[in-house]
Structures are given as structure tokens and as C-alpha cells.
Structure 1
Amino acid sequence: MLTHSPALSALQFLALCSVLAGGLPAVHAGTVTAYTALEEDEIKEYVAAAKKDMPDVDVKVLRLSTGDLGARILAEASNPQHDVIWGWALTNTLDPRITALLEPYTAKGSDKLAAKDKAADGKWFTTTGYMAAFCVNTEVLKAKNLPMPQSWKDLTNPVYKGEVVMPNPVSSGTGYLQIAALLQSKGTDEGWKFLKALDGNVAQYIKSGSRPCKAARAGEFAIGTSLAFAAMQSVEEGFPLKMVIPTDGAGYELEASGLMAASKNKADAKRFLDWTLSPSAAALYTKYKEIVTIPGAPQSKAAKAAGLPVDLSKTLYPMDFAKSAKDRDTILSTWQKTIGR
């Protein structure tokens, strides 16, 4: 009979028991819980790749839409249930209530990112992003004899009444970036006048950023204001759809990741954050993202086929993310009072 010697630690004793029983010592295994707003199909592939690179780490993921995730994180602020924020809108991450929950960490590979793509205090970094685009069903346009829209201004044309669907900015990060960009580019007063005029043609505000594109490609509506990736994917899958980058300002959002100060598994949480900047992760991003901040990431075939410009710097509206974050509550409150339905 083997007894526990005081000279052995509990872990050493259990390992010795395993060896004597003909087994092997337990291999290190950790669990990382990530909260994210990434799309479900990309999460599945990213997690599978992370598991291959880090077989000893079990990555558990809670996926919610951008706005819902923020509410969840704040509701749990006194007792966070996750280790990392992963791929969440930078605008939301910059909320002081959120940054207060994060711990500085210089992830491996973050030194290659541009200064604008990481926090000066090390609390967040961005690897990917998404931009506004119109998903236009060419068959619906032809059947209804409608012109091809080229700009946000075009969407206020009365001929499109009831033919436009947009994401709801309260729940959708894509929806909020579209509105924030229009308000920043036109100024507050003119911006709200424009949004009210645009609302006259909007049939629905949908909870998800990608669903307006899916509704348009299915022929339910002529135009879905969405994100470029949803348009690229739809074109690649053969839908009668054209991606239009609005000529009067394509707003965009970056997706940030960071370490929770309350994490109970920081070693593996840091390993996971390092992985999100790794070559194997970067190789997957262009499959799902129109914006990748990691240098050297090639443009995908889908992006080329849909006509996404190689140099996005001349296409994207220069978003002020700090302003987007600061004004978010006020903008959403005003939107709900004056437009929301």
C-alpha cells in the first residue's frame, strides 16, 4: 500500500501514483473562456486552429452581438466570468468601464502592429476589422427598374422606399459604425437630418450586421447596408449581388482583444492572445475579414472577385474611435428616441 509521504507535495504524490499504476503524469491542461462578437463560422475555424497549435488549452467561447456582449460584460463587472475579450468592437472596448476591467499585456507579435492598432497602455490590440458596404441585389434592381446606388446620399432617393434594410445600431457593431461614420463626416446636426431622411426608405432595422446582406441576397429587399465581408461572401457563393463601397464615406471598425484583470488562468489566456497574432491565425483572417492589421496578410480571392480595393486607406472614412466610444450612449439614445423601431 502506497501512503502519502510528507516529503512529497500533493501533485508529486498523484504523479507518482500514476507512474506506479503504469500510467503517465497528467499533462498540463488549461481552460480559457473568451467573450467575443466574431461571427460563428469564423469562430469555429479559429478555435479549431488554436486547438491544433495549443492542444493543451481548451478554448470556450461565448458569442453575442456587439451591444449584447457589452451589456453582459458590464453586468458581470464585479465578478467577470471570462479570461479574455476577443475580437470585439474597439469602440466598445474603449468604454472606460471596460478598460478598467482589462490588464496590460504585450502580446507576442504586437510589436509589428501600427501604433493606432494597439493601446499605448497595453490593454488592447486589434488584429482584424470590418467596413461598411452595400449589398445590392442586381436581379431585384432590374425587376423594379431601380438605379444602382453608389453612395449613402443615393439611398435617400424616394425610389428606394421600402427597399433598404439596415442593421440596428443598438445591438450591431456594424450598425453603430455606419451611423457614427455618417455623424462624424456630416457633423451632428446635418448627420441627424440625413439619418432621418434615410429612415424614410428603410423597411427594417435588423439586429445583426450581416443579416441585411443576407436579406438582400435572398431577394427580400433590393439593398442591405452591411459589412464588406458579407457582400464578398455572397458574391463568392454565386448570389446575384454586387458589393458597393459608398463613395461618400465607408465607416469601419476594428476588433480588439485584451486580457481580463480578473482572469484566473492568465498564463493560458496570454498564450491564447499570443496565438491570435500568430502566422497561423493571420492566415485564416483574410478568409473572413476585409481588414487585417497584421502586416503582410494577403488579400483574399473573394475580396478581389468582389472588387474590394487593395489599398483601403483611400476608401475608409478616418474614424475617430475615441469619439465613437465617448458619444456612443448619447448617439444610441438619440437614435432610439428619433428613429428606433
Structure 2
Amino acid sequence: MTLNTLAAAVGLALAATAAQAATLTVYTALEADQIKPYKEAFEKANPDVELRFVRESTGIITAKLLSEKNNPKADVVWGLAATSLQVLADQGMLQPYAPKSLASITPAFRDRANPPRWVGMDVWAATICFNTVEAAKKGLPKPQSWMDLTRPVYKDQIVMPHPASSGTGFLDVSAWLQMFGDKKGWDYMDKLHVNMAQYVHSGSKPCKMAAAGEYPIGISFEYRGAQLKEKGAPIDLVFPKEGLGWDLEATAIVKGTKQLAAAQKLADFAASRPAMELYEKNYAVLAMPGVAKPNPLLPANYEKQLVKNDFTWAARHRDAILKEWSRRYESKAEAK
């Protein structure tokens, strides 16, 4: 074989490999610093599939998917609130699929349908980030409950995520309505609103703001709070005694994808033990039991503090909840 012939053969082989490789468009609301290790791990295990991520906050990704219902642009959703995925499932937008490791997934952390339309990855839950240095300067006591945050001493000292933009914000509002009931839930949020400085468009931002001393109290979630505290931020993590609102990061295949086989590979990986070991670096409660390790910054009974969360109810009432919330509280929303 001449060098020219060999070069031609190699070129043909490379072209064939490229032709066989699939590219998946993946919509996600994962934290930006999580995407790279997840992508690298999947592509190492599946060298014939390349992932192209489109990342936005939960509310924006949910709205984008709904707007594209009749002309889907995404192949897979990897890392979006189960509440949002249930909205999509109810509209017939998700492809049912049972990942290979489905039997190892906790039943409460997957879609009720069989085969499921979405499968959970990990839990993230409400946490109050409390800046002890700034609070001491202002003479603010550490809150112990959600109700504590309505005390006059906290006026203009609190930030939290906007529920239309942030999955963390929505899990807060949904949990308060499920915990306290409709009337008492809205009454609570009315009182909390009096003390609210701003509703921001990110679930992690309130904790970052508290860690930086911009506000002494940020309603956020445990992963970001623990990460900032480990890095030396002067914050305490408060887990309100009434219970913690929560949601699942989950995975789903978008119905109509032209890359179904590759999408199924991603769904298999997302529900596998190797993937769970990646999620464990960020979260204390996983969809697959027996993988998570205790986090010294979280209570030993952390999982038991999660409130009862009806994903179906939350999904079906999401639009009405957000409309009412905006009518009452939009005046303090951060400018987009």
C-alpha cells in the first residue's frame, strides 16, 4: 500500500467514524460548574456521542421547551426540576423510557408512569444562608424557622429566588403552599414579602449574596451553601424546623428526537451508579440509595426533614401559582 493509499484509507475511516458519531442537544439547568465533569464522564463512556449543552435557569429552560413544543430543538433534558418535567410530561412532550438501572432508583424519585417519562438524579432542598458577621453587626438573631423570617427585625434583610426564574424559588413557594395550605401559605408569603429586599433570578445567588455580606439572609439551597461555607464564607446553614421544600434534578428524553438511540444512552448513563457518584459530590440525597455519603455540614436526619412533595400537584398548579405570586410580589423582583 502506498502512502497516498494509506492516507486515503485513514481519511475514509475517520470520515466514517465522524459520520457515525451522534451529537445530542442537551437542555439543562445544572449549575454551570457541574456541566463539565458530567459531560466528560459521559463522553468518555460513550465516545460515539457528543453532548452540546444549552444551559439556563429552571424557569427559562422550562419556558423554552414549552415554546418549542411543536418544533423541538432539544434531544434530552439532563438536570431540570422534576416539577418542570412533569409539566412537559402532562403535555405529551417526553418519550417514555426505562433506563437500564431503573430498578435501582428509589420509586418516589421517578415518574409514576411505566415506563417513566422522567427519572430523578438527586435532591436539592431549601436552606437559609445566614451571614453571622453581618448579622452580628445589625443585631439580628439566627432564624430557626420559616415563620421567624416574618419578624419585623428582618425587614429588608432577606433575598430569595424568583419562582418563575428559579426552580429553587418555585420549590420554596410550592412547599409553603403544601405545608401551610393555600390560605395560610399566601398569608405567610405576604408577611415574608414585607421583609424581602429582593427576588433574584437564580437559586444560588441569594446564598452568594449572603456569603459576600450584601444581605445577611439568603434563601437558597444546601449544595451552594455547603460549598461556600467550605470555602470559608462566614455563613451558617439553617434548616427551618417546619421542614424543607425540595425538588429533584431529573433526566428525560424529548419526544421526537432524531437521535433516539443516543438519547437512550444518555438516559442510561444519567441513571447509572457512575453518574450517581458524580452527583454525590454535590448532593446528599440521591435517586439511587446507597451511594451518598454523610455531609458534616448537613443534619444527620436531613432526608427526613424534606416535606411531602406532590410533583403532580405542583406541575398542574404551576402556572396559576406563578401568576398569583407575580400579582402579589413582582414589585420587588430584580431587573432582568
- Normalised by the length of structure 2, the TM-score is 0.91
Point out the more displaced range, 182-191 or 115-124.
115-124
Alignment of 1:128-277 (within 5 A): 128-277=122-271
Which amino acid in 2 is paired with 1:240? P
Are positions 1:21 and 2:15 aligned together?
no
1:312 deviation in Å? 3.0
Measure the CA separation in 1 of the matches of 2:313 and 2:90: 16
1:97 deviation in Å? 6.2
1:144 deviation in Å? 1.2
Measure the CA separation in 1 of the matches of 2:258 and 2:9: 32
Measure the CA separation in 1 of the matches of 2:38 and 2:287: 17
Partner residue of 1:13? none
> Which of the two has higher C-alpha Rg?
1
Which amino acid in 1 is paired with 2:8? A
Measure the CA separation in 2 of the matches of 1:33 and 1:166: 31
1:322 to 295, 312, 317: 312
1:216 deviation in Å? 0.3
1:245 deviation in Å? 0.7
Alignment of 1:54-133 (within 5 A): 54-95=46-87, 99-119=91-111, 120-121=113-114, 122-133=116-127
Measure the CA separation in 1 of the matches of 2:288 and 2:5: 44
Which amino acid in 1 is paired with 2:194? G
1:222 deviation in Å? 0.6
1:76 deviation in Å? 1.0
1:95 deviation in Å? 1.3
Residues 299 and 97 (structure 1), Cα distance of their counterparts in 2 relative to 1, 3 Å cut: closer
Partner residue of 2:334? none
Tell me, what secondary structure is at the counterpart of 1:155? helix
1:330 deviation in Å? 0.9
Which amino acid in 2 is paired with 1:322? T
Point out the more displaced range, 270-279 or 159-168.
270-279
Structure 1 unaligned blocks of 5 or more:
1-16
Measure the CA separation in 2 of the matches of 1:298 and 1:291: 6
Task: Report the number of matched residues.
Answer: 321
Are positions 1:35 and 2:22 aligned together?
no
Point out the more displaced range, 110-119 or 151-160.
110-119
Residues 60 and 115 (structure 1), Cα distance of their counterparts in 2 relative to 1, 3 Å cut: same
1:310 deviation in Å? 3.4
- Normalised by the length of structure 1, the TM-score is 0.90
Instruction: Write out per-residue CA displacement over residues 277-301 of structure 1, whole angstroms, 9 at most, x where no aligned residue.
Output: 223211111112232111211226x
Which amino acid in 2 is paired with 1:59? L
Instruction: Write out per-residue CA displacement over residues 228-260 of structure 1, whole angstroms, 9 at most, x where no aligned residue.
Output: 111101111110011111111210001221111
Point out the more displaced range, 78-87 or 281-290.
281-290
1:145 deviation in Å? 1.4
Partner residue of 1:338? 328
Identity of aligned residues (%): 40
Measure the CA separation in 1 of the matches of 2:7 and 2:188: 76
Are positions 1:310 and 2:300 aligned together?
yes
Tell me, what secondary structure is at the counterpart of 1:95? helix
Measure the CA separation in 2 of the matches of 1:166 and 1:49: 33
Measure the CA separation in 1 of the matches of 2:207 and 2:88: 32
Instruction: Write out per-residue CA displacement over residues 152-211 of structure 1, whole angstroms, 9 at most, x where no aligned residue.
Output: 111111111111001001111100110110111111111111100011111000000000
Residues 298 and 96 (structure 1), Cα distance of their counterparts in 2 relative to 1, 3 Å cut: closer
Measure the CA separation in 2 of the matches of 1:83 and 1:180: 28
Measure the CA separation in 1 of the matches of 2:246 and 2:257: 30
Point out the more displaced range, 290-299 or 191-200.
290-299
Tell me, what secondary structure is at the counterpart of 1:100? coil
Which amino acid in 2 is paired with 1:32? L
Residues 96 and 230 (structure 1), Cα distance of their counterparts in 2 relative to 1, 3 Å cut: closer
Partner residue of 1:6? none
